[in-house]
C-alpha cells in the first residue's frame, strides 16, 4: 500500500458505540499528532457524544472524552468527509446475530454483517486515495477477505485498499482501563506495511511484545475463541455451583480451591446468574454457525452446551425462589408477592442491559404472578421498562413493575429481595433498616454472591445464595 504519508495522522472510525467511542478517546489521548473523527449514521448518538451526557457510561470515559474533544477527537455525522480525509478507517459498527435468539434450543447464528458491508461499499465509493481499512467489529472467519473483495469490486479506479483485522477485547465496565492496558493487540492481515502502520499507532502506549501480528483468519478466530472460552468458564463454575447446592460444598471455597492452581487461575470464576451482554451469546452463536458450516457438528454441540448451561442457571434460580417463597396458602406461585430486584445491568460497572440475565429472571417472576420493584444505579427507568417489555413478549405484562430511584425504595414493602447484578453498593445497604421496611418473613436470594449471608441470617432473613448449600 502507498498510503499518502508514512505515519498515520488522520483516522476515521465508523460506529460511535461502546467500542468506537472509548477506543477513539484513548487513541486521541495517547497519539497527540493524530486527528480522529468518530462518525455514526445515528445523529442522536453523535449529538450525545458532543453533549455533557455521553451515550455510554464507563469509569474514566467522561473526563477523557471531554478533554480530547477540544483537541483531536471529533464526533460527526459527516461520514463521507471523514472517510475522505482519513488514511486509516476503523469499522466498529454492530454485528448482531442474524436471527433473534431467546431460547437455548436455537443453534448457531450467522452474524448480520450488513452494517459492515454498508461501510465497505461506502468507503470504496467515497475514497479517492489509498486507505487502510481495519475491521474492529467482531466478524466470523473470512469476513475480512469478503470486505477486501467488496472494496476491490467497488473501488474508484487506481485506488487501493489494505484490509486488516484488529478485534477489540475491551470489557464493558472497565473499557478505559482495558484500552489503556490491553493484554494484547491482534493485527491480522497479509500487508506488512499496513500492519506496521497500525502497529505504530498502538506503540504510542502498548509495549511491542503485546502487539501480535498474524494472518487474518487467526486474528478473526482468536476473538471468537476468546469470548467463547470466557463464557465457558462462567458456565463451568455455574455447573459446579449446582452441585454445591445439592451437596455440602460452598462454591466460593471450591472456586478458591480450583483457582489457586496456576494452570487454572482465579479470574472469571465467580458464580453468578450467568453471562450477558452483547458479545458472548452472539460470538458463541457465530462459532456454532461456523462449526456447522464447516461440517463439524461435534464442535458446534460442544459450544452449544455453554449457552444451555447459562439458561439452566436462571431456571434453577427462579425455581429456588418459587420453592422457598411461594405463599404455601393455596395461592399460586408468587401471586401477591412483591419482589425487590436489585440490579438490572448485565454486570456491575455498566449501564448496558443487552442480554442481561436480570431481564430473564424478572420476566419469570412476573409470569409467576410477582409484583416487581426494580433498582439499578446506572440503568434508567425507560431502559428497564423497554428491555423488560421486549423480553416479556406477549405472555406476561410489565404493568406491575415499578422502577425505583434507590435500593431502599425498592426494598420497602417487599417480601423478597433478589440480587441480580453484582453492584458493590448492595453490600453497604443497611440491612437492619431494610429488614424493618420489608414484609415478614423476609427472603433474600443472592444471584451474584455479593452479600454477607451469615450476617443477614443473624438479622433474621431467610437467605439463599447461588452455589451454597440450601438451608431452610
Which residues contribute to the annotated binding site for substrate? 169-172, 223, 268-272, 276, 347
Q: Pick the piece of the chain touching ligand NAD (CB under 6 A) from 93-101, 191-199, 293-301, 418-426.
A: 93-101
Residue 143 beta carbon to ligand NAD: minimum distance, rounded to whole angstroms: 10
Specify the residue, 216 or 342, whose C-beta has the smaller distance to ligand NAD.
216
Tell me if 424 sits within 8 A of 449, measured CB to CB: no
For ligand NAD, which residue has the nearest CB? 17
Does residue number 278 form part of the binding site for ligand NAD (CB under 6 A)? yes
CA distance 112 to 354: 17
Residue 83 beta carbon to ligand NAD: minimum distance, rounded to whole angstroms: 10
Report which of 437, 444, 440, 422 is spatially closest to residue 339, judged by C-alpha positions. Answer: 444
Would you call 466 helix, strand, or coil by DSSP? coil
Q: How far is CA 313 from CA 99, 251, 410, in A?
A: 23, 14, 24
The C-alpha cell 412483591 sits at 338
Cell digits of residue 455 = 450476617
CA distance 132 to 42: 24
Q: Pick the piece of the chain touching ligand NAD (CB under 6 A) from 89-97, 125-133, 300-308, 437-445.
A: 89-97
Residue 295 beta carbon to ligand NAD: minimum distance, rounded to whole angstroms: 26
Cell digits of residue 249 = 460444598
Q: Hey, which residues between 7 and 36 contact ligand NAD (CB under 6 A)?
A: 14-20
Does residue number 45 form part of the binding site for ligand NAD (CB under 6 A)? yes
Residues placed in the known binding site for NAD(+): 40, 45, 95, 138, 172, 282, 354
Specify the residue, 42 or 432, whose C-beta has the smaller distance to ligand NAD.
42
Tell me if 79 sits within 8 A of 14, measured CB to CB: yes
Does residue number 255 form part of the binding site for ligand NAD (CB under 6 A)? no
Cell digits of residue 470 = 440450601
Report which of 14, 58, 64, 6 is spatially closest to residue 36, judged by C-alpha positions. Answer: 14
Residues 24, 36, 40, 285: which binds ligand NAD (CB under 6 A)?
40
Whether omega for the bond prior to residue 441 falls within 30 degrees of 0, making it cis, is yes
Cell digits of residue 112 = 448480520
- Neighbour tally for 229: CB within 10 Å: 11
Report which of 192, 187, 189, 188 is spatially closest to residue 203, judged by C-alpha positions. Answer: 187
Sheet holding 443-446, edge to edge: 401-403, 371-375, 338-342, 416-419, 443-446, 462-465
Does residue number 94 form part of the binding site for ligand NAD (CB under 6 A)? yes
Specify the residue, 15 or 276, whose C-beta has the smaller distance to ligand NAD.
15
Residues 30, 35, 41, 69: which binds ligand NAD (CB under 6 A)?
41
Q: Pick the piece of the chain touching ligand NAD (CB under 6 A) from 111-119, 179-187, 357-365, 367-375.
A: 111-119
Residues placed in the known binding site: 40, 45, 95, 138, 169-172, 223, 268-272, 276, 282, 347, 354
Q: How far is CA 154 from CA 83, 130, 159, 161, 337, in A?
A: 15, 13, 10, 11, 61
Specify the residue, 95 or 356, whose C-beta has the smaller distance to ligand NAD.
95
Cell digits of residue 191 = 500487508
Residue 279 beta carbon to ligand NAD: minimum distance, rounded to whole angstroms: 5
Residue 123 beta carbon to ligand NAD: minimum distance, rounded to whole angstroms: 10
Q: How far is CA 285 from CA 28, 282, 393, in A?
A: 34, 5, 22
Residue 445 beta carbon to ligand NAD: minimum distance, rounded to whole angstroms: 28
**Active-site annotation holds for 279:** yes
Residue 154 beta carbon to ligand NAD: minimum distance, rounded to whole angstroms: 14
Specify the residue, 24 or 456, whose C-beta has the smaller distance to ligand NAD.
24
Angle (CA) 208-28-13 rounded to 5° is 95
Specify the residue, 17 or 349, whose C-beta has the smaller distance to ligand NAD.
17
Q: Which of 279, 341, 362, 404 is catalytic?
A: 279
Residues 88, 164, 168, 419: which binds ligand NAD (CB under 6 A)?
168
Residues 42, 153, 196, 253: which binds ligand NAD (CB under 6 A)?
42
Does residue number 172 form part of the binding site for ligand NAD (CB under 6 A)? yes
Does residue number 307 form part of the binding site for ligand NAD (CB under 6 A)? no
Does residue number 138 form part of the binding site for ligand NAD (CB under 6 A)? yes
Would you call 374 helix, strand, or coil by DSSP? strand
Indicate the burial class of 156 (C-beta count within 10 angstroms; 0-12, 13-18, 19 or more).
exposed
Specify the residue, 28 or 417, whose C-beta has the smaller distance to ligand NAD.
28
Specify the residue, 60 or 369, whose C-beta has the smaller distance to ligand NAD.
60
CA distance 202 to 23: 11
Q: Any idea which residues carry the catalytic annotation? A: 279
For ligand NAD, the binding residues (CB under 6 A) are 14-20, 40-42, 45, 92-95, 115, 118-119, 137-138, 168, 170, 172, 278-279
Amino acid at each position: 500500500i502507498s498510503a499518502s504519508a508514512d505515519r498515520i495522522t488522520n483516522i476515521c472510525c465508523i460506529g460511535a458505540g461502546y467500542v468506537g467511542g472509548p477506543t477513539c478517546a484513548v487513541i486521541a489521548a495517547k497519539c497527540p499528532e493524530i486527528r480522529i473523527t468518530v462518525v455514526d449514521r445515528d445523529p442522536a448518538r453523535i449529538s450525545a457524544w458532543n453533549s455533557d451526557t455521553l451515550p455510554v457510561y464507563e469509569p474514566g470515559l467522561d473526563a477523557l472524552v471531554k478533554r480530547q474533544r477540544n483537541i483531536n477527537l471529533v464526533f460527526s455525522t459527516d461520514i463521507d468527509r471523514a472517510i475522505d480525509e482519513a488514511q486509516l478507517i476503523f469499522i466498529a459498527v454492530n454485528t448482531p446475530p442474524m436471527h433473534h435468539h431467546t431460547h437455548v434450543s436455537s443453534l448457531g447464528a450467522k452474524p448480520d454483517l450488513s452494517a459492515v458491508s454498508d461501510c465497505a461499499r461506502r468507503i470504496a465509493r467515497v475514497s479517492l486515495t489509498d486507505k487502510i481499512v481495519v475491521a474492529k467489529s467482531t466478524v466470523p472467519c473470512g469476513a475480512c477477505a469478503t470486505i477486501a473483495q467488496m472494496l476491490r469490486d467497488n473501488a474508484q479506479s487506481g485506488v487501493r485498499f489494505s484490509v486488516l483485522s484488529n478485534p477489540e477485547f475491551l470489557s464493558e465496565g472497565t473499557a478505559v482501563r482495558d484500552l489503556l492496558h490491553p493484554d494484547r493487540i491482534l493485527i491480522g492481515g497479509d500487508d506488512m506495511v499496513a500492519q506496521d502502520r497500525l502497529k505504530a499507532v498502538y506503540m504510542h502506549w502498548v509495549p511491542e511484545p503485546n502487539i501480535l501480528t498474524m494472518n487474518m483468519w487467526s486474528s478473526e478466530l482468536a476473538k471468537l475463541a476468546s469470548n467463547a472460552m470466557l463464557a465457558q468458564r462462567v458456565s463451568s463454575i455455574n455447573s459446579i455451583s449446582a452441585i454445591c447446592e445439592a451437596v455440602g460444598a460452598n462454591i466460593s471455597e471450591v472456586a478458591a480451591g480450583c483457582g489457586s492452581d496456576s494452570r487454572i487461575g482465579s479470574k472469571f470464576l465467580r458464580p453468578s446468574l450467568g453471562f450477558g451482554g452483547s458479545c458472548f451469546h452472539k460470538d458463541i452463536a457465530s462459532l456454532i454457525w461456523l462449526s456447522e458450516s464447516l461440517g463439524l457438528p461435534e464442535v458446534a454441540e460442544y459450544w452449544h452446551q455453554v449457552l444451555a448451561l447459562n439458561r439452566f442457571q436462571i431456571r434453577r434460580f427462579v425455581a429456588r425462589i418459587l420453592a422457598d417463597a411461594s405463599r404455601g396458602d393455596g395461592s399460586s406461585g408468587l401471586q401477591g408477592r412483591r419482589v425487590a430486584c436489585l440490579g438490572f445491568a448485565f454486570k456491575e460497572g455498566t449501564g448496558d442491559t443487552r442480554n442481561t440475565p436480570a431481564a430473564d429472571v424478572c420476566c419469570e417472576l412476573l409470569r409467576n404472578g410477582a409484583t416487581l420493584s426494580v433498582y439499578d444505579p446506572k440503568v434508567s427507568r425507560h431502559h428497564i421498562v423497554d428491555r423488560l417489555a421486549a423480553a416479556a413478549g406477549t405472555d406476561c405484562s410489565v404493568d406491575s413493575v415499578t422502577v425505583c430511584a434507590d435500593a431502599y425504595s425498592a426494598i420497602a414493602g417487599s417480601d423478597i429481595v433478589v440480587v441480580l447484578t453484582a453492584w458493590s453498593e448492595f453490600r453497604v445497604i443497611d440491612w437492619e433498616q431494610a429488614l424493618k421496611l420489608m414484609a415478614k418473613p423476609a427472603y433474600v436470594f443472592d444471584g451474584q454472591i455479593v452479600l454477607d449471608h451469615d450476617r443477614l441470617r443473624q438479622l433474621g432473613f431467610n437467605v439463599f445464595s447461588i452455589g451454597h448449600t440450601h438451608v431452610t
